[in-house]
Amino acid sequence: MKQITLSIKDFFDIPGAVIYNPDEFKDVTIVSIDTRVIKKNSLFIAIKGEKFDGHNFINTAVKKGAAAIMINKNYLQSIDDIDIPVITVPDTIKALGDVAKIWRSKLNAKVIGLTGSSGKTTTKEILARQLAVKFKVNKTSANNNNHIGVPLTILSTTSTDQVLVAECGTNHFGEIAYTANILQPDYALITNIGDSHLEFLKNRQGVLKEKLALFDVTSKRKGKLFINVDDELICIASGKYRNKIKYGFDGKAEIKGKILSYDSIGKARLELTSNSKRINLTVPLPGESNAKNFLAASAVCLELGLGKKELISSSLKMKSADKRLNLKIYKNFSLIDDTYNANPDSMRAAISILSLYKNRRRKIAILGEMFELGKQSQKLHEELAEYVKTQNIHEVYTIGNMMKHFSRKLKKYSAVIEHFESREELKKYLKKINLHNSIILIKGSRGMKMEYFVSQLESRAC
């Protein structure tokens, strides 16, 4: 299949672009913002980030064989002795999106866009694994889901890829609309609407408004939407859309899920029903939340032609994404590493797995603060404490300012409760804690860097 290329004509369509040395322009087959991976026929786009300014690496890009460079127009006077084409633009970050949108128009792949307050990365990973049984799949790498990550994901997709699974993240209004307009999905999925990024999105209605931009863009191009009927806000909002498939555990849906039981480590035995056909399988990842993620991904797969055999075979080697409900079993204890991020819904989902886990007697939660909850932060931390009281957790250790309110609410709960003012205090305590026959959850928002405590406990594994 012919390689995707960007010609000089493509760059004429980028707003504000001016091309210097146009007679030397050769078709571009790779677009990069990182000089470490520059190859022949690459376009290097100089992006100014928080730590590095790509404009300082232009000469490196040229030496490594870049066919052209794209820079902010304000830097033109500082460039000397460059004999390859130079494209100046008002804003290279915005231009990166423009280039990615042109690339997207040349793709043969079906594009799936997904977002949600929680579970979107895990759903993306499940979906990509399932689809890879039948198709050549590209997907968002790690959590590369913002205004720079989405364009880079598109630009990493080749002419031989048949499906692109792209995750769209947000914490400010307008970000989903921006990335979705670049992505132009053929299929769109919103996992759920919860209390995430409330510092800027204000409340669940704000979260819904922001996430629905993915549906709006997809619907405008007559793409198909996947509606989670178990989420009341999504279900109500879906009334204005036509081309849709409903899935869920409750209510009316074309694709239904039913949890039949859980095994001793919390994995659900799931029954999927679609068009009177039933598929029974064990969800490869623990907890009810992962059963929901698996159902969402399976709904998309069934629409794209996968059947019972493919869904079962794809699940056999499936593993948790890094730092997302990643269950690690050692001789003397088990550990749930869910340290990538946290909001109230994902906290509840992780804590519930402790109750489901039957192979260890003592259940311990080590929890860090949840960030970006705005004015509702104290209330949401306190409400989480009320949930913990229902889950039969034996020991709870917390860190972070807002976790003081959480810990206070738990004081009358019949468990060991300790709050720590510093990381050093918690570190010292965990050195002495008895881990024998325990299942331990470690979770907190990204800024809490709770993975440090995972490493500390893993050093005691035997």
CATH number at residue 267: 3.40.1190.10
Residues 229 and 266 in one domain: yes
Residues 125 and 260 in one domain: yes
How many separate domains does the chain show?
A: 3
Domain span holding position 418: 326-458
Token output for 205: 């209605």
Contacts of 103 (CB under 8 A, 6+ apart): 4, 6, 31, 154, 155, 157
Burial of 59 (0-12, 13-18, 19+ CB in 10 A): middle
Helices 423-432 and 451-458, packing angle to 10 deg:
20
Q: Report the C-alpha gap between 86 and 7 in whole angstroms.
A: 14
In a domain, 424, yes or no: yes
> What was the pLDDT predicted at 2?
86
Residues 160 and 295 in one domain: yes
CATH number at residue 50: 3.40.1390.10
> What was the pLDDT predicted at 143?
82
Residue in the structure block whose two tokens are 């004081």: 411
Q: Report the C-alpha gap between 308 and 272 in whole angstroms.
A: 10
Contacts of 364 (CB under 8 A, 6+ apart): 354, 393, 394, 395, 396, 397, 433, 438, 439, 440, 441
Yes or no: say if 399 and 456 are a contact pair by the CB < 8 Å rule: no
Residues 210 and 338 in one domain: no
The side-by-side arrangement of strands in the sheet containing 362-368 is 326-329, 333-338, 438-443, 362-368, 395-399, 416-420
Q: Report the C-alpha gap between 33 and 123 in whole angstroms.
A: 28
In a domain, 100, yes or no: no
Q: Where is the domain boundary, 65, 91, 117?
A: 91
The C-alpha angle 276, 278, 279, rounded to 5 degrees, equals 150
Closest residue by Cα to residue 393 from 336, 448, 345: 336
Yes or no: say if 337 and 321 are a contact pair by the CB < 8 Å rule: no
In a domain, 97, yes or no: no
In a domain, 1, yes or no: no
> What was the pLDDT predicted at 33?
97
Residues 177 and 71 in one domain: no
Residues 77 and 170 in one domain: no
Q: Where is the domain boundary, 56, 91, 126?
A: 91
Q: Where are the alpha helices (DSSP H) in 230-331?
A: 232-237, 288-303, 308-315
DSSP character string of 372-415: S-GGGHHHHHHHHHHHHTTTT-SEEEEESTTHHHHHHHTTTSSS
Closest residue by Cα to residue 180 from 194, 196, 166, 201: 166
Q: Report the C-alpha gap between 453 and 462 in whole angstroms.
A: 17
Q: Report the C-alpha gap between 146 and 151 in whole angstroms.
A: 8
Low-confidence ranges of the chain (pLDDT < 50): none
> What was the pLDDT predicted at 462?
72
> What was the pLDDT predicted at 304?
97
Residue in the structure block whose two tokens are 């250790």: 397
Residue in the structure block whose two tokens are 């409900």: 325
Yes or no: say if 447 and 373 are a contact pair by the CB < 8 Å rule: no
SS3 133: coil
φ/ψ of residue 323, rounded to 5: 65, 20
Token output for 263: 């095994």
In a domain, 98, yes or no: no
In a domain, 310, yes or no: yes
In a domain, 101, yes or no: no
Residues 302 and 343 in one domain: no
Q: How many CB atoms lie within 10 A of CB 221?
A: 10
> What was the pLDDT predicted at 371?
96
Residues 333 and 311 in one domain: no
Q: Where is the domain boundary, 59, 91, 123?
A: 91
Number of helices (H) and strands (E) in the chain: give both, helices first: 16, 20
